[in-house]
Structure 1
């Protein structure tokens, strides 16, 4: 078995590798030299460069070097490498190690693995524990997932207020799915909240700014059927159709069949394309 020092590329080999991948040599050669000297940040940077270009062998070697220096980011990223290599058990162990040392994203990924039973047994209560820790550390994705868990009673009792609170926290952090979910909550009157069209529109518009397909469709639906503003609805349906939504495209075909034959043909062709693409 080769020693790690033999497996790692030499400066000359690294230079050749940079050339093959059309990477700017001066910056990366400097990082490589610093990494060779054991500068922790540079070790991680070089490892992530290899990972970005799917060179998992070298990424693994450099991340392990950073782990020996106690770097939790390297533990987390090595977990990502193992996960991409479909080695779920080793990914789980790396995420767990980094999570126990306080890495927020590792906490979230560890929770995901407990929740989905990847690399370990399915355990919703442990998932809830680690999603909570990740949320407390500012991971908005974890806040959104906690909203789902409290809404559906996964790993805990159903708690509408807790679910709403986590969705709101995640939305304030910019989580697009939480913005959309809040729109649906106020549109439907869910989680003990009264129906509130203005609030629903507000959250759908926020989600649409991030190109959320269903938010565009819902804004079109509200404009058409509740406000009677078909031109406004068409604008939103077009946005959703451009993102690949079949129902919005059908709406556009139906509208233009009554108003503009040329446009109707255009959107029929788009509908056919989307239907074939989805087969």
Structure 2
């Protein structure tokens, strides 16, 4: 009687050799595929890095955090070149800076409605420059129906993160009762935050509040001090008001100040003043 055998098939040494060769070829193929995949992944990362650098060079704001290398002021953006460089980046990125930059370059091209979703996407991630620019859009009614209350809310988000321009604009809203109930004390508080960061227009407005006793006890000494800080930076309104104080007179009335601010708004924008202009 034939005993039980675990393997009744005859051993075929030649077959084993073929199988071994095949197995080795599979292993080599897998290893090479892995190496190729890593090379392709590295190549993809290199392409993305280069694309980000091109987008930064053509659309990055000097005021935006996390930007290295070249930046460009809003008025100098080449819209066509920047769009070509940034469109690839925004399709596959989780970095809000690039969403903001796409909004920024579209904004420069006066594609206001198209810019809004990109600003909003970045603003929702807490990206301060996007919150500020979106606030400007709602303040000025560009690409969206003007809404001062939304503008104030957006300026507040940026202001609470320390943005001086947003702090100034929020102070202005409180001083004017624009989008928020008029509150001189809150206006002074926000002006002071921006002024302490060296923002000349906030220093000038803070001087005005001290001179006229709005939100603070009237103090010509404090008014002159803040006018002096702003005047030293070239602020023309502060220079005039300081000269009036030193001559024993008084600066323009608040209504005159509002009228002049409205009249010079476009001038500030064309001159690239960050308090009115996009960033």
Give yes or no for TM over 0.5.
Answer: yes
Q: Which residue of 1 aligns with 2:217?
A: 194
Q: Tell me the CA shift for residue 134 of structure 1.
A: 0.7
Q: 1:166 aligns with which of 190, 193, 199?
A: 190
Distance of 1:171 and 1:187 partners within structure 2: 16
Distance of 2:106 and 2:100 partners within structure 1: 10
Distance of 1:188 and 1:34 partners within structure 2: 61
Q: 2:169 aligns with which of 145, 150, 153?
A: 145
Query: TM-score, normalised to structure 2's length?
Result: 0.63
Q: Which residue of 2 aligns with 1:204?
A: 227
Within the alignment, does 1:155 sit opposite 2:165 as a pair? no
Distance of 1:188 and 1:214 partners within structure 2: 15
- Ranges in structure 2 where 5+ consecutive residues have no aligned partner: 1-42, 60-69, 250-279
Aligned residues: 194
Q: Which residue of 2 aligns with 1:88?
A: 112
Q: Which residue of 2 aligns with 1:56?
A: 79
Distance of 1:35 and 1:59 partners within structure 2: 20
Distance verdict in 2 for CA 1:153–1:56, change over 3 Å: same
Q: Which residue of 1 aligns with 2:253?
A: none
Q: Which residue of 1 aligns with 2:63?
A: none
Distance verdict in 2 for CA 1:202–1:100, change over 3 Å: same
Q: Which residue of 2 aligns with 1:42?
A: 53
Q: CA RMSD in A?
A: 2.5
Q: Which residue of 1 aligns with 2:158?
A: 134
Q: 1:182 aligns with which of 201, 206, 211?
A: 206
Distance of 2:123 and 2:88 partners within structure 1: 19
- CA-to-aligned-CA distance 1:72-91 (integer Å, 9 cap, x gap): 21221222211111111012
Larger radius of gyration: 2
Q: Tell me the CA shift for residue 127 of structure 1.
A: 1.2
Q: Which residue of 1 aligns with 2:24?
A: none
Distance of 1:180 and 1:212 partners within structure 2: 8
Distance verdict in 2 for CA 1:61–1:71, change over 3 Å: farther
Q: Tell me the CA shift for residue 100 of structure 1.
A: 0.9
Structure 2 matches for 1:1-279, cutoff 5 A? 37-39=47-49, 41-48=52-59, 54-67=77-90, 68-191=92-215, 193-225=216-248
Query: TM-score, normalised to structure 1's length?
Result: 0.63
Q: Tell me the CA shift for residue 124 of structure 1.
A: 1.7
Question: Would the aligned equivalents of 2:58 and 2:78 in 1 still touch at CA under 8 Å?
Answer: no
Q: Tell me the CA shift for residue 51 of structure 1.
A: 6.5
Distance of 1:190 and 1:100 partners within structure 2: 35
- CA-to-aligned-CA distance 1:181-211 (integer Å, 9 cap, x gap): 01111112223x2321110111011101211
Question: Would the aligned equivalents of 1:140 and 1:170 in 2 still touch at CA under 8 Å?
Answer: yes
